[in-house]
Amino acid sequence: MSTPLSHQPVPYQEITEPYYAVEVARTHSLDQAYGDDYVLICTCPRCGAALDIELFDPVYKAASTSAPPNPNPTGAREVPVSCVCRSEHDGRPEGRTGCGAYWPLELS
């Protein structure tokens, strides 16, 4: 994984950019926590916060039973991911975490 950026106190904004997914895909690591559950270790491409995001098996099961068959022959699956940092971001609604950035991550 690349050296994380220092956290940037950007204002809260629910936003995605194509480069978010590209950057996280290039620099993340995915560690098996237990069973079919994983921890995504990455840096938020918007605010630079270091993130550890738990990806639970029910997410995969729900996606596989409610979604149409995956047309990707490699079996890769796209999972929505968002920044969950606890740093301050002006304008963030109460009860939320992160800077508002979100992106898809392809898992295989």
> Is 96 part of any domain?
yes
> How high is the pLDDT of residue 105?
87
What span, in angstroms and rounded, lies between the C-alpha atoms of 57 and 38? 8
Residue 4 forms part of a structural domain: no
* Domain annotation covers residue 29: yes
How confident is the model over 30-87, as pLDDT tens digits?
888 777 788 889 999 999 999 999 887 555 444 444 444 445 556 677 889 999 999 9
**3 occurs within a structural domain:** no
Structural domain including 78 reads 18-107
pLDDT for 73 equals 59
Contact 39, 50 (CB under 8 A): no
Radius of gyration of the chain (CA): 14
The pLDDT value given to residue 68? 46
105: Cβ contacts below 8 Å, ≥ 6 apart? 21, 24, 25, 28, 40, 78, 79, 80, 81
- Rounded-to-integer distance, Cα 101 and Cα 91, Å: 14
Q: Domains in the chain: how many in total?
A: 1
pLDDT at 31: 86
